């Protein structure tokens, strides 16, 4: 069948975006809604869920918000069943919920390391595992894992985060390998440095009003010469969630203003 713009439509699909009360997840959810999908999201805290629902309402979107910690397998299974009853089975899952701890490795305690791995790697495993049976039954499904520059690169104080996001890249390829023949596509989006609360500490102005050295570093390291905005991720997410990408599987789409292609500004 020849290509049609309808291939990008998500009309009639149910999309679950984890951790989407604000930030990258919220923007991706808004884009999926714009393309026609019904939006389901969860956060780990009641307060962020309520705030999220209000933000969607302000944007004219009726999103189904739930409180559920993605590391709690029992709770995730229970919520999946509830969503299936209240909204419908999931066509599109975006594993977006994530945390970061910026601590030099020798100062990082093992519990904190484990917690980052738990949310950023075990979480996507748990939620994917919960939605896959219905996707297999329906004969189609899209899973998009939100990876990172740290799926490819290391840096001084993000050992747990890099380990988790590197693992998430490989979980993506493995889900593709295991379920490709069930017409399920699992891809990743690797955002570059994006302006969200997660990266706020890296952009805070110095006492003398000058830019944070890390802010300068990122601008110089990114060919686009700027931080990413959350809406830079909208088009790539719709593409990977839609039928337009049905033969794209196990791929990580880096949306980074060219950062990974660049050695950095010449001295």
Q: How far apart are CA 246 and CA 167, in angstroms?
A: 24
Choose, from 161, 193, 254, 262, the residue flagged as catalytic.
161
Tokens of 194: 């994006």
Binding residues among 55-74 for ligand NAP as defined by CB under 6 A: 69-71
12-31 mask for ligand NAP (x: CB under 6 A)? ------xx-xxxxx------
Closer CB to ligand GCO, 199 or 230, in the complex = 199
Binding residues for ligand GCO, rule CB under 6 A, total 13
Binding residues among 125-154 for ligand GCO as defined by CB under 6 A: 148-150
Among 4, 109, 198, 206, binds ligand NAP (CB under 6 A): 198
Q: How far apart are CA 82 and CA 94, in angstroms?
A: 18
Tokens of 59: 């944007």
SS3 per-residue string spanning 116-143: HHHHHHHHHHHHHHHHHHHHHHHCCEEE
* 193: annotated active-site residue: no
- Picked from ligand GCO, ligand NAP, none, the partner binding residue 136 (CB below 5 to 8 A depending on kind) is none
Q: How far apart are CA 222 and CA 267, in angstroms?
A: 15
Binding residues among 186-205 for ligand GCO as defined by CB under 6 A: 191-193, 198-199
CB 31 to ligand NAP: min, Å: 14
Helices (H), the chain: 23-34, 46-58, 73-86, 110-117, 123-138, 159-179, 213-221, 234-241
CA torsion sign for 46, 200, 143, 166 is negative
- Scan for tokens 């023949």, then name that residue: 181
- Picked from ligand NAP, ligand GCO, none, the partner binding residue 185 (CB below 5 to 8 A depending on kind) is none
Q: How far apart are CA 138 and CA 89, in angstroms?
A: 9
CB 230 to ligand GCO: min, Å: 12
Residues that bind ligand GCO (CB under 6 A): 100, 102, 148-150, 155, 158, 161, 191-193, 198-199
Active site residues: 161
Residues that bind ligand NAP (CB under 6 A): 18-19, 21-25, 42-45, 48, 69-71, 96-99, 119, 146, 148, 191, 193-194, 196-199
């Amino acid at each position: 069948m020849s290509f049609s713009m309808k291939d990008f439509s998500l009309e009639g699909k149910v999309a679950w975006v984890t951790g989407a009360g604000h930030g990258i997840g919220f923007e991706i959810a808004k884009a999926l809604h714009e393309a026609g999908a019904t939006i389901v999201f969860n956060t780990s805290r009641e307060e962020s869920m309520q705030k999220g629902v209000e933000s969607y309402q302000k944007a004219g979107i009726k999103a189904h918000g739930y409180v559920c910690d993605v590391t709690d397998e029992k709770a995730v299974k229970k919520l999946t069943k509830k969503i299936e009853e209240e909204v419908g089975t999931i066509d599109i899952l975006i594993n977006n919920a994530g945390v970061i701890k910026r601590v030099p490795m020798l100062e990082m305690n093992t519990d904190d390391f484990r917690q980052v791995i738990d949310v950023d790697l075990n979480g996507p495993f748990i939620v994917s595992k919960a939605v896959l049976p219905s996707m297999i039954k329906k004969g189609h499904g899209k899973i998009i894992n939100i990876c990172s520059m740290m799926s490819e690169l290391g840096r001084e104080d993000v050992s747990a985060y890099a380990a988790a996001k590197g693992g998430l890249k490989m979980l993506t390829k493995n889900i593709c390998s295991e379920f490709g023949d069930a017409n399920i596509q699992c891809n990743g989006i690797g955002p570059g440095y994006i302006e969200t609360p997660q990266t706020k500490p890296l952009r805070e102005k110095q006492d003398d009003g000058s830019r944070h050295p890390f802010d300068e570093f990122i601008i110089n390291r990114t060919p686009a010469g700027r931080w990413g905005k959350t809406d830079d991720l909208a088009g790539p997410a719709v593409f990977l969630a839609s039928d337009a990408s049905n033969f794209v599987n196990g791929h990580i789409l880096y949306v980074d203003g060219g950062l990974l292609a660049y050695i950095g500004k010449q001295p």
